Amino acid sequence: EAGVAQSPRYKIIEKRQSVAFWCNPISGHATLYWYQQILGQGPKLLIQFQNNGVVDDSQLPKDRFSAERLKGVDSTLKIQPAKLEDSAVYLCASSIAPLPVSTEAFFGQGTRLTVV
């Protein structure tokens, strides 16, 4: 079974530029998460989708971050304009369903973003 695919693996941009990350979850997984992991910290949820609807985006900086999941499959996370503090690894994860709580999430390898 193919895992969660993310691209690109690495990205370096200048501040105030825009960037987009792509995620293809495991086939059949209804729930998709985007996490931000700053160096030395644990992952922090940015947005959670259930199919193509947003379940939780309370921690997404909506003035600069946006995400969509068209057709309930692939997802794109965009930052525009980027700030230095956006430098982090962006992890995409998927799970077959949000419940029960025992349902594990499968993670991609992440995109390492460096803003200079």
Can you give the binding site for another protein, defined by CB under 8 A? Answer: 3, 31, 33, 35, 40-45, 48, 55-56, 89, 91, 93, 98-110, 112
CB nearer to another protein: pick between 2 and 100: 100
CB nearer to another protein: pick between 57 and 74: 57
Distance CA 5, CA 107 (A): 9
- Phi, psi dihedrals of residue 65, rounded to the nearest 5°: -105, 140
CB of 16 to another protein, least distance (A): 26
Phi/psi zone of residue 71: left (φ > 0), alpha (ψ -120 to 50 degrees), beta? left
Report whether 39 contacts 110 (CB < 8 A): no
- On the 0-12 / 13-18 / 19+ scale of CB atoms within 10 A, 56 is middle
CB of 85 to another protein, least distance (A): 18
CB of 94 to another protein, least distance (A): 12
CB nearer to another protein: pick between 59 and 76: 59
CB nearer to another protein: pick between 14 and 114: 114
